[in-house]
Amino acid sequence: MDYSDIAGDLTEVLLTEQQIHDKIEELARRIETDYAGRNILLVGVLKGAVMVMADLARALKMPLEMDWMAVSSYGSGTQSSGVVRILKDLDTDLHDRNVLIVEDIIDSGLTLSWLRANLESRGAESVEICALLRKPEAAKVHVDVKYEGFSIPNAFVVGYGLDFAEKYRNFRDIGVLAPHVYA
Ligand code: IMP
């Protein structure tokens, strides 16, 4: 595939497809061990987590179920406020389920901290988080992430499901968006 149009919008490739693949395999081995014999429900957060979910679910050599939520954070501009609205709820009853939330990126942490509390209140046996990326410098609240892929600098990244204005989700690597794109 020719990505030359996309490459011009990036300042650098932060993580290659291969690095992402290797990390997801590594996380999958840990999850298989931790959840052996337990019924695991992967909950993907639309839309950014679609690629992580698809790859993680297939890397996991164990029975599992998948469900999806879509949430939107009220806020000014690009700033997350922590006040979250559910746009699409789960179809699954969480009673006695072992829920693993699958996320693309944790920025301020506000969305995920709200989501975790929300899912815990539905009677799940356990709720844990798997996030491919985390920006420690952007954290506004502490979120306990059991399965973390990469810690990255506080820059706006796209690709592998992550978008800017709905674009770049299909770029296979993860790159830093050039300021001229959003300036
Ligand atoms: P938080 O509530 O600030 O942690 O917001 C997390 C959400 O913001 C993620 O699920 C993404 O949808 C979005 N987001 C945060 N940082 C980035 C980024 O660098 N690129 C693309 N989306 C991002």
Q: Could you report the per-residue pLDDT of 81-139, keeping only the tens digit for each?
A: 677 899 999 999 999 999 999 999 999 999 999 999 999 999 999 999 999 999 999 99
Cα of 41 vs centre of ligand 1, distance in Å, is: 23
DSSP secondary structure code for residue 136 in this structure: G
pLDDT-derived band at 1 (thresholds 50, 70, 90) equals very low
Pocket of ligand 1 (CB under 6 A): 48, 73, 80, 103-112, 156-158, 162
Overall pTM > 0.75: yes
Rounded-to-integer distance, Cα 158 and Cα 146, Å:
23
Centroid of ligand 1 to alpha carbon of 93 (angstroms)? 27
Question: Which residue reads 């939330």 in tokens?
Answer: 101
Contact between residue 177 and residue 164 where contact means Cβ atoms under 8 Å apart: yes
Burial 46-60 (b: 16+ CB within 10 A, else e): eebbbbbbebbbebb
For residue 73, what pLDDT band results from cuts at 50, 70 and 90? confident
Listed residue (40, 45, 92) closest to 64, CA to CA: 40
Positions marked catalytic: 107
CA 13 to chain CA mean position, Å? 19
Substitution candidate for ligand 1 out of 50, 74, 102, 105 with most atoms within 8 A of CB: 105
Q: Tabulate helix, strand, coil % of the chain (nearest 5).
A: 25, 35, 40
Ligand 1 center from residue 106 Cα (angstroms): 6
* Residue identifier of the C-alpha nearest atom 19 of ligand 1: 156
Considering all CA atoms of the chain, what is the largest pairwise distance in Å, rounded to the nearest integer?
50
- DSSP string for residues in 42-96: EEEEETTTHHHHHHHHHH--S-EEEEEEEEEEE-STT---SEEEEEE--SS--TT
